[in-house]
Amino acid sequence: MKYLKKIILGLAAILIGIQFYQPSRNQSDEVPATHIERMFAVPQNVKAILVQSCYDCHSNNTRYPWYSRIQPGAWYMAEHIKKGKEELNFSEFGDYSVRRQRNKFRAMAGQVKDGEMPLSSYTLIHRNAVLSPEDKQVLIAWFSTMEDSIK
């Protein structure tokens, strides 16, 4: 019994201790000149969907929920955001080559159409990020239009 008590106390101390090691936050008040909204005409309905379902992981400004400061979940969230931004960053979309922009629009349309984005692990907690069939059609149409508009 004493051994089990020591293990529980040790685990509790570790859990409390790791709370002091927080990852950096992905937040910025600035909308850079390279942001997709500054590079392309983004209709308000498309912007609303992107903000609700995409920007948390694919921009330089994440809206953090209350549980984002609890470890080890915060580390998982920070890594998830890092990987998402490596794949696609709407805040730096203007830095992509024309070819890469075109490919990203094509890929986004395909992933939304196939239900690959937003990730189910994200929509499990963020129910308001689930794309309705109408939202999907709006995004797919806009992505396709943007892909075709890039010369």
Residue span of the structural domain in which 113 resides: 2-149
Are the C-beta atoms of 113 and 140 separated by less than 8 Å?
Answer: yes
* Residue 4 pLDDT: 83
Q: Which residues contact residue 44 at a Cβ distance below 8 angstroms, ignoring those fewer than 6 apart?
A: none
* Residue 102 pLDDT: 95
User: How far is 104 from 101, CA to CA, in rounded Å?
Assistant: 5
* Residue 100 pLDDT: 95
Average pLDDT per 10 consecutive residues for the chain, totaling 151 residues: 80 74 73 88 94 93 80 82 93 94 95 92 88 95 91 68
Number of domains in the chain: 1
123 burial type by CB count under 10 A (0-12 exposed, 13-18 middle, 19+ buried):
middle
